[in-house]
Structure 1
């Protein structure tokens, strides 16, 4: 015998479960992306120049003035 009714029922059940899992995963990714967009990271402030860099820039400026 061909149990096409049973096959259709199993196929229909599978499609319902697969669609519900798809929507659940889609909802989770949407929520995680929304959390990331709400709190954008501020760009870090550039570090202050070291004493050596300050001294070198002063020397450079003095050499430019002499020319």
Structure 2
């Protein structure tokens, strides 16, 4: 991962207290940033799987055109 300035603010992929956005400030190298990277990778993998042909995605899923 490319090092970021020490004061970079990152929106985390989970909600904070009372459903409010949760942020971390740092250079992207700390424990919270690494955990956020794992969660985002998992979310992207799940989204990729949901858009595969034949996936039992249920009603309401909109297919994107290439």
TM-score, length basis structure 1: 0.36
Higher Cα Rg: structure 1 or 2?
1
TM-score, length basis structure 2: 0.36
> Which structure is higher in strand share?
2
Higher relative contact order (CA 8 A, sep 6+): 2
> Which structure is higher in helix share?
1
